[in-house]
Structure 1
Amino acid sequence: MRIASPAIVGGVLGAGALLTAFPFLWMIFGSVKPRSESVEYPPRLLPQAPTLENFTQLFGQLDFGRYLVNTIAVVLISMAGVVFMAMAGYGFAKFRFRGRGFLFFLVLATMMIPVQVTMIPTYLLLNGLKLTNTLVGIAIPGLVSGFGVFLLRQFMSAVPTEMVEAARIDGAGEARIFWSVVLPLARPILAVQIVLTFIGAWNSFLWPLIIAGDDRLYTLSVAVSLLNRQIATSPSLQMAGSTLMVVPVLIVFVVFQRHIVRGFTLSGLK
């Protein structure tokens, strides 16, 4: 069977990539169009008179600067959960204790429960702790995930036990071993979990909408969804808000792409 030439394969892949990226390009170009161009028919991909007026309106009139700061704060709080998940993964991977298998089963079982099922009890719990209508209350439910613990445990199971035992013989405590031996080796999978945590916190919509009664605590995802209520319909303004949401995620993914592939590959070794 004759194999297609590299030029044909490259052309097909390039056409597929362009087709896949077309909605993203439409969003980017639409975000710098004046409103008059965004509603004209037939529509054009490229703007005739590019402008940053839409972004100026988002930050100047619609208070998107506050929403951006709120979202960054939620992301930073959520990042603390990566350390907690790493600790749990290390404990399940390298410690032998009674009930370890059952506890790990419970961690995996949490992955089968839809988030919507736990929203009411979570809200009542946070309300009792006076954490509703706070950024901490928005971030806490996503602080630790069963999938994150599972992913880190799978990777840390492949870390040589002999290396850990050698550190113990040398007199290192468990905290020193975790921070100085295990975490440096787990950098690829930590990069994966950081990216997943960032995407989850950045795109979180339903929970911030429920728990934040004050619109000053809204995140970007909630603010973008409310654009139609704040101002007359403007496709270019909506495209600008969507660009503000999507581009940071894309940048983070591109920067950590190599670590993501490597981390997922290594986590399946054992």
Structure 2
Amino acid sequence: MYFKNEHDLQLDLAKHLREVGYLTYTEIEIKGGRGGRADVIAIKPSYANKDCRIYEVKNNRSTFNNDSKYEKYFDVCHRMYIACPSGMIKKDELPPKIGLIVRNENGWHVVKAARRNNPKDFNIDFVLSLLYRGYEETLVQRRLRDKIIAEENFSLKKQAYKIGYEIARRLDKDRETEVEDWVIKCNELFKKYLDVDINYKRLPSLYELEYILSSISHLAKDIQYIKKIGEYLRSLDLPEEPEDKSIKWKYRKKLREEAMEFKKEA
């Protein structure tokens, strides 16, 4: 079993110890003249049988050869273990009272049991250090839990949006069909009266529609202009001005002026 660093191995061991019923703490600073940090501390939740265990985690041979400070931890623990990947350390290489637990593909296994010790400094200060560290670790876990819950809610929100969109799309299906029918009928009218095919399968752009409607608008003005000119031509036999201005009748000058005025507008 491969672990990138000792920290990952620590977390894996702590998880295993929790699963078998221990309270666990990682990276606990050992106060007083002993110095250093205990990698993993496990405590059995029992008043009758006090059992505090310290696990010194080693992920490679060199750190094991160059570090022996963990023997000072006997002042605050009842049992002491070395924890490492399987095959890295032999149980005969350890002092008699230190135990060995190894990690292989199938999990953690005790190769050598640690002898019980009576710690002289297992006191309130040490217990408080565990409480402080425990609070820090649970705080991280709570924040992680809140983050997971937030991400799950966001995922549910996205899923709800997709479902809502699908429902709306199905409800609008009839309206979409009506729009399609309307476009087809519009195409038939354009084809019938203007000989223009707008190709409803490829909807025309706004520019194309504007061009068609603009052409129709100019054509309508031209027709009105031609009508005005026709009225003027039909009135050539009328007098330029009416002799009796009290009589409301058409006369040539007025029709000519209307035609010319319309021409200016066109």
Higher RCO (C-alpha 8 Å, min separation 6): 1
State the TM-score, normalized to the length of structure 1.
0.19
Report the structure, 1 or 2, having the larger helix content.
1
Structure number with greater Rg is 2
